[in-house]
Structure 1
Amino acid sequence: MRWLVRRVHRKGKGQVSYEDDIHFGDVLTVGRGASQAVFLTDMRVALEHAKITSLSKGKYRVESLIEAGVRINGGIVHQATCAAGTQIELGGFRLELLEPPEDYDAAVEISQIDKSEQAAEIQRKRPPTSLAETRLSKRGPAWALFIAIFLLFLVLPAASHYSSGLSSLLRGSPLPSRDAWMAGELAGAHHFFQSECSACHSEAFAWVKDGDCLTCHALTPAHADPEVFNLPELGDARCAHCHRDHNGKTALIRGDQSLCADCHTDLGTRTAGASTLGEATDFGEVHPEFKVSLPRWDAQGVFAPERVTLAADLKEGSGLKFPHDVHLDKEGINAPSGRRVLECSSCHVPDAGGAIMKPVDFESMCQDCHALSFDVTEPERQVPHARITEIFYMLDEFYARRALEGEVKDESAPVSLRTRRLPGQSVQPQQRQLALTWARDKARQVGESLFTGRACTVCHEVSPGRTTEEPWAVAPVRVSGIWFPKSRFDHASHTTMTCAGCHAATTSSSSEDLLLPDIANCRQCHAGDEGGHDKLESGCITCHGYHESDHLLQVDLQ
């Protein structure tokens, strides 16, 4: 198919010239890319913007190749079947589809849209922006607006308050009812029904009842499990005691310290000794020492963490041997690549949310310095980390191949294995057996050296294994992922602090040191919300959530 592509060039004083080109093919592609049949030099045009297909003489199909579509005869479309005379606008260019002249199957004319024409079109579409551009006066609209506001937002709501029929009518119409007199902005979660007062207020001008809340929140976890917290203050408390709406988008949950302190005062006496919790009425003045969750496993191997009070002599049995002070030496450590200075961030990287740290990864954080190479003749070869069976399989395979190929560079190997074999030379059965026996013994010797001497035992507790496949056993690493499960803490909020400000890692020579900050450390910056104006005021809900049951829902308490 033969296309006529005509470009119109306008010069000064109304002069016009034409440049004709010929394109062969059923489809004419249009865009800013150099590969397009019609190349348009306008940044508002996509690289591949549209394509035009000739259906027959004078009839075309225009298709957009981008989500924004194309403007055809003033309207935005994604595809259309057009006749000759149709105008397509792309950026500052106009393409007009033509009746093809003789010897052509299709034709298109390309011209630039005049800037004055563009400005006139924008001005034509611009709505009036001042009263001076209309036939209205200033005083008339002002009085009309005043009367409309007076009737719509004062007379109608007042009348609907005293007439139930009118109230129902207005609620079903776009006109304002007494909802226009809402006491305050609703919480963000309640915005979608903010015009329906009865959604929460089953009685007009009355407090919201707990049953009204459960219409939507029946499946919310129970805030106060009566079996655990057998206290009237919790069981008889209204939802609205803690959740008060009409106070803005983020003020639905009470955050004042007295909400918690009223109950957490003298708990031992008030619960007849049932509660073992300490007094907690103000973080800066009255709050017990932190309790941490240490990883523990019962006799059956089930994870059963133990909560203990944080103390300076508290130790962690993680199964690791790691001296922080050596790795954080200001002078650096000796690494294969030279002297290297490590920082806390070299091994401790926050997760995506910034709350906790990702687990330390041996391959990306440790292996640069602690290479698991096993043979001096091939130092780049390393055994895999933490996979004992694979380690001995690799060693057996490595030394068996070396023994069978010959020229073993080891004085302990038999002479026949240290002799180089010619390529293709067969190995006698007796030599093969001798080679495999030596390789097996060598693999076990190297494995013992790795596990008990120069590799594994540097960081791990190693003991003899129980099987030939795993002749050595490495104590599992058991580090707690979350030390304070009863509280909230994220490192992202403490980026202004240095790691050493909370963790005394530079003075720790043993991985048994817990290195967690105690309450005195936190009180250097944080105080309760009723005092300490030179510190960050922190109420109870800054770190703690309300009581939530693990198995009960709100509807279960009704």
Structure 2
Amino acid sequence: MRWLIRRVLKQGKGAVSYEEDVHFGEVLSIGRAADQAIFLSDIRAALNHARVTAISPGNYKVESLILAGIRVNGALTYAANVGAGATVEIASTRITLLDPPRDFEAAVEISALDKTEQEAAKARRAKPTSLKQTWLGKRLPSWFAFVAVLLFGLLLPLASHFVPPLGRLLAHTGLPTTASWNPGPLDAAHRFFGDDCKQCHAKPFLTVRDTACTHCHTRMAAHADPAHFNLPQLGEARCASCHQDHLGLAGMVNTGQQLCSGCHADLKTRTAGASQLEAATDFGKAHPEFRLRLPAWDASGQFTPQLTRLTPQLKENSGLKFDHALHLKPGLNSPGGRRDLHCASCHQPDAGGLAMKPVAFESMCHDCHTLGFDTFAPDRQVPHAKVAEVVYMLDDYYAKRALEGGYTETSAPGFVQQRRRPGEASLSPQQTIEALSWARDKSRQVADSLFTGRACVTCHTVTRDAAAANTPGAGWKIAPVRVAGIWYAEAKFTHAKHSTMQCKDCHQADTSTSAGDLLIPGIANCRQCHAGESGGSKVASTCIACHRYHQAENLLLKQL
């Protein structure tokens, strides 16, 4: 098949010349590649842009070879069957399909679109971008809108204020009344200044500034240091971003999970490694295991509690020796007879129900674990948890018994065992020295027995200085008791809201035989009842159910 390709060449002063070429083949290819039948030098043309197939003399099929399509007779298309006279526009080139002359089966004419034609075609295809390009003007709609706002936003509410019957009538019609000027009821905490709008809205027509909040909330802690954690959500956040009033009695706090998960989903990446917190987006699906506040001491002996990730192997170093399983057995033998102990026997909630009161030896342990030291004085007991006072009391007690006499223990000297009548002559100086010497030895002997055998060592770790190892009654040290009163330092938990549950639902104390066992439940235990924001059949728990937002230790909002 022979194609006639005619190029229209424009010359100076409007002169036109033609250049003709012959192409052999069924298809006429168009593009910027060197092997194309019609070569286009425009960079906007693809290497293989389109093709034209001659169906019959004067009838053609035009096809686009790119996803953007081609423009045929001014319309964008991917394929079209057209006749002679149809035009194809590609970049700045127009290709007109012709009736083939004699000795040819197909013919096309190629010409260039000048800038005027291109601008006109672009203007025809452009959509209106302003009201001036449409039949709709600005003035009439503006007047309608002005009258509507004036009537419904000002005149009707104003009339309903000064004419109460009209106000009651409008309230039943759905038309605006003075209620449309009221943004809503204040939060309960702000109702004491509810009539003084300037407390928050210091300047008319401006949003509430943070200074209006921090003027009253002077000790409000920040969330994190925006200089250290370079997050726009911190540096650009306003109080009103989370706390918006006029939403009712309990509408000031944003309870949405997205408030926290928006940053904590990838906090390490967002802070460029400045934060070491693990990702957390949903309590039920994506939340790390809890971190506990465990008692610990530094090298100098200072109490420095540490946050530690909860694991099955984690142990508590409280300084105590205690067997929960033994104390929870039914029919426990005690000085007062058989008795049954329960969790509440020792663990009692504080007044607010948040945590448990500290276990006190005097009120909870002393009934069974008495601190008697001498069978001749069954009512006398040494003080608890005071090593120096124990030794001082024993010294005083046995010195008094030695000087008074009547202490019938066989190890005591005869004049100590002998009971003296009132007014009888006192001991001689030599006897006094011997009596006090015996009393001191007896005191140290009893002290050693208390610390190592029948009292302190039962519940406490007792050590002795090596330098005083050979000195009776001296150098004893009892390991301090350090039990974390608040285990979840990074979260808030209250026993009061879990009062319907049994202690064993969370704390497996009846099988614990060591005080080192951590009886604190992990996240799996909590997930039995709690889920994330979409809780389903479980309790829906968002981030702020357990975590506070304003938790910076040293930085206040007023300092930012």
Determine if the TM-score, normalized by the shorter chain, exceeds 0.5.
yes
Shift of 1:190: 2.2
Q: Which amino acid aligns with 1:501?
A: D
Shift of 1:250: 1.2
Would the alpha carbon gap of residues 477 and 448 (structure 1) be closer, same or farther in structure 2, given more than 3 Å must change? same
Q: 2:553 aligns with which of 550, 554, 558?
A: 550
The equivalent residue for 1:355 is: 354
Cα deviation, 1:215-236, whole Å, max 9, x if unaligned, reads: 5446532334213432112211
> Is contact 1:200–1:208 with CA below 8 Å preserved after alignment?
yes
Identity %: 54
Deviation at 1:503, TM superposition (A): 0.8
Gapped runs of 5+ residues in structure 1?
1-143, 156-160, 162-176
Q: Which amino acid in structure 2 is aligned with residue 385 of structure 1?
A: H
Q: Does 1:482 align with 2:486?
A: yes
Residue 348 of structure 2 aligns to which amino acid in structure 1?
A: V
1:294–1:239 CA distance, 2 compared to 1 (3 A)? same
RMSD: 2.8
Which residue of 2 is the match for residue 527 of structure 1? 531
Larger radius of gyration: 2
Which of 488, 497, 502 is matched with 1:498 structurally?
A: 502
In structure 2, what is the Cα distance between the partners aligned to 1:248 and 1:148? 25
Output the CA distance in 1 between the equivalents of 2:215 and 2:421. 87
Who is 1:150 aligned against? Answer: 166
Separation in 2, partners of 1:149, 1:215:
42
Instruction: Verify the 8 A CA contact 1:224 1:235 in the aligned structure 2.
Output: no
Q: How does 1:442-461 map to 2 (within 5 A)?
A: 442-461=442-461
For 2:377 and 2:219, locate their aligned partners in 1 and report how far apart those are by CA, in whole Å.
63
Corresponding position of 2:59? none
Q: Counterpart in 2 of 1:97? A: none
221-230 or 346-355, larger mean C-alpha shift? 221-230
- Give the 5 Å matches for 1:249-398: 249-329=249-329, 331-398=330-397
Which residue identity lines up with residue 355 of structure 2 in the other structure? I
TM-score by length of 1: 0.65
Q: Verify the 8 A CA contact 1:400 1:435 in the aligned structure 2.
A: yes
Indicate conservation of the 8 Å contact 2:229/2:271, yes or no: no
1:508 and 2:546 are equivalent in the alignment: no
CA displacement at 1:180 relative to structure 2: 7.2
- Between the aligned partners of 1:151 and 1:420, the Cα distance in structure 2 is 103
- Provide the secondary structure at the position in 2 that maps to 1:293: strand
Deviation of 1:214 after TM superposition, in Å, equals 4.4
Q: Give how far 1:277 is off.
A: 1.4
With over 3 angstroms needed to count, the CA separation of the structure-2 counterparts of 1:214 and 1:492, relative to structure 1, is closer
SS in 2 for 1:262: helix
How far off its partner does 1:213 sit? 3.8
Rate the CA distance shift 1:425–1:210 in 2: closer, same or farther, 3 A.
closer
Question: For the residues of structure 2 that align with 1:296 and 1:214, how far apart are their CA atoms?
Answer: 37
Contact 1:388 1:470 in 2 (8 A): no
AA aligned opposite 2:300:
Q
Q: Bigger CA drift: 302-311 or 412-421?
A: 412-421
From the superposition, tell whether residues 423 and 556 of structure 1 become closer, same or farther in structure 2 (CA, over 3 Å). Answer: closer
Letter paired with 1:453: G
Alpha carbons of structure 1 residues 208 and 421: separation in structure 2 relative to 1, 3 Å: closer
Question: Could you tell me whether the CA contact under 8 Å between 2:221 and 2:550 is conserved in 1?
Answer: no
> Contact 2:187–2:247 (CA<8 Å) still a contact in 1?
yes
Secondary structure of 1:550 counterpart: coil
Aligned equivalents of 1:421, 1:194: Cα separation in 2: 84
SS in 1 for 2:237: coil
Question: Relative to 1, partners in 2 of residues 1:500 and 1:349: Cα closer, same or farther, differing over 3 Å?
Answer: same
1:320-355 deviation per Cα after TM superposition (whole angstroms, max 9, x unaligned): 1111111111x2321100011111111111111111
- Counterpart for residue 30 of structure 1: none
Match of 1:227 in 2: 227
Q: Is the 8 A contact 2:292 2:488 kept in 1?
A: yes
Deviation of 1:537 (Å): 1.0
* 219 and 513 in structure 1: CA distance in 2 versus 1, 3 angstrom threshold: closer
CA contact (8 A) 2:353 2:494 kept: yes
- Contact 2:408–2:418 (Cα < 8 Å) also in 1: no
Give, in whole Å, the separation in 2 of the partners of 1:219 and 1:454. 52
Query: Matches of 2:541 and 2:196 in 1, distance apart?
Result: 36
1:146–1:197: structure 2 CA closer, same or farther, 3 Å change rule?
closer
Q: Which whole-Å CA distance do the structure 2 matches of 1:269 and 1:146 have between them? A: 60
Bigger Cα displacement from structure 2, 286-295 vs 296-305? 296-305
Distance in 1, matches of 2:213 and 2:188, equals 16
Using structure 2 for the length normalisation, give the TM-score. Answer: 0.65
Are the equivalent residues in 1 in contact too, given 2:161–2:167 (CA < 8 A)? no
Contact 2:444–2:474 (8 Å) recurs in 1: no
Q: Does the 8 A contact of 1:318 with 1:512 survive in 2?
A: yes
Structure 2 residue 403 is matched with structure 1 residue 404:
yes
Distance change >3 Å, CA 206–CA 150, structure 1 → 2: farther
Residues 153, 412 of structure 1: CA spacing in aligned structure 2 closer, same or farther, 3 A cutoff?
farther
Deviation at 1:276, TM superposition (A): 1.8
Q: CA deviation at 1:422?
A: 3.4
Change (3 A) 1:271 1:452: same
Q: Which moves more between the two structures, 337-346 or 220-229?
A: 220-229
Provide closer, same or farther for how the CA distance between residues 491 and 219 of structure 1 changes in structure 2, counting only shifts above 3 A. Answer: closer
- Residues 407 and 193 from structure 1, CA distance in 2 versus in 1: closer, same or farther, beyond 3 angstroms? closer
SS in 2 for 1:486: coil
User: 1:254-282 CA distances to partner (integer Å, 9 max, x unpaired)?
Assistant: 00111111111122222223222112111
Q: Kindly tell me: are residues 199 and 424 of structure 1, through their superposed partners in 2, closer, same or farther at Cα, counting changes over 3 Å? A: closer
Q: Distance in 1 between matches of 2:379 and 2:423?
A: 28
Q: Counterpart of 1:551 in structure 2: which amino acid?
A: N
For residues 537 and 246 of structure 1, the distance between their equivalents in structure 2, rounded to whole angstroms, comes to 25
How has the CA–CA distance of structure 1 residues 262 and 153 changed in structure 2, closer, same or farther, with 3 Å as cutoff? farther
Instruction: Look up the equivalent residue of 1:356 and give its one-letter code.
Output: A
Q: Secondary structure at the match of 1:263?
A: helix
Amino acid at match of 1:264: H
Is 1:538 the counterpart of 2:541? The answer is yes
Q: Equivalents in 2 of 1:217, 1:227: separation in Å?
A: 22
The one-letter code matched in structure 2 to 1:487 is: A
Amino acid aligned to 2:293: S
Q: Displacement of 1:387 after TM fit?
A: 1.6
Q: CA deviation at 1:146?
A: 10
Which residue of structure 2 aligns with residue 64 of structure 1?
Answer: none
